[in-house]
Chain A
Amino acid sequence: MAIVITRTFIVYFALLLTMRLMGKRQLGEMELSEFVVAALIADLAAHPLQDMGIPLLNGLVPIAVLFCCEVLIAGLSLRSIRLRELLFGKPSLLIVKGEIDQAQMRRNRFTLDELMQELRSQGVTDIRMIEYAVLETDGKLSLLLSPAASPVTASQLDLPQGNAGYPHIVISDGRVLEANLRHLGLDAAWLDNTLREQGYASPAEVYLMTVDEGKAFFLARKEATIA
């Protein structure tokens, strides 16, 4: 068992180091330590199930050790900026004011094809439109458009800005979600009145109803009750 624990520590930190050296673009959307744990756990769990000669403990102990490593690394990196940089790296600026930083591209092993693919997937075809392109620590590329290419906002156009807040689901497939109704400061009487005004006999006829904090609502009738 001590060997299983020691081996798990060694493999975990070896994978963490390897993936760190390989760079962010290997990660997809996971943080480095999450990726390492995900890659290991899937395989670890399968072995004792496939081979009855391996005690189940040999699969469970490494999973518990990995869980502890992940929780501790995540907790320590929350408290220490230096450790966070060491383990997860720093965001890298691949494009600054419409100029590609080739040194950063090389350092992150990011090819031009991959950069262009990322830009296209975010609806950008002209690099000059980009103020900053940041390769995040989880491997995602964040784009900040230049002021000239940014969409205009309501405040720039001096338009009235109503904020009705987050729309909550109040009826889901005929079922009333009482907690959401209460959260909005509404009650069953308000719901009944609103439904009646809109031509519904009961919540059972509603497929989806959302209500925002300004009491504006959206209703979708259940298919079975559509005449």
Chain B
Amino acid sequence: MKREQAAIALLLLLLAIALWNIHHADFLTDQLEENLLRSERALSRGDRDMALTALDNALSLWQRSRGYTGVFFRHPDVDAASDAFYELQQLLLQRDAEGIEAAYERLRYHLDTLDDMEHLSWGTVF
């Protein structure tokens, strides 16, 4: 009976961690995308410095979360999102307008993918 109780407790603990993980992945990607949106809006107003500051905020949050992302996400997906961050930062620093919209979209796509992969759906399970 004790073994069964321990098994139920372990399953409940794993499910609780899984639910926390879904919530935390949502929270993290929402914060990153908020900064990304702020950066994009600033750029559309012509305020490139503000756009860069907002992106740097997002990047620093992303780097601080490396411990979490390394444990819970597949490493190639984390690397792809990091690459997209640095690519966008480089375009902003170069004051190069060409391809910048696509770079924002690419980064947003990678962050959405990371978040989607933690959500239970027919697509992700099967």
Contacts and interface: CB of A to CB of B under 8 A. Distances in A.
A2 B72 contact: no
A86 interface: no
A55 B22 contact: no
A196 B75 CA distance: 69
B21 A2 contact: yes
Contacts of B124: 3
Band of interface residues on B: 20 to 34
Contacts, number: 66
B7 interface: yes
B9 to A, nearest CB: 9
Given A1-B118, A2-B22, A7-B125, A68 B74 contact: no
Interface stretch (A57-65, A112-120, A212-220): A57-65
A67 interface: yes
Contacts of B70: 55
B120 A65 contact: no
Contact of A64 (B4, B10, B73, B117): B10
Contacts of B73: 55
Given A2-B21, A2-B120, A75-B4, A64 B74 contact: no
Given A65-B11, A72-B4, A75-B3, A1 B17 contact: yes
Interface of A: 1-3, 5-7, 10, 52-55, 57-58, 61, 64-65, 67-68, 71-72, 75-76
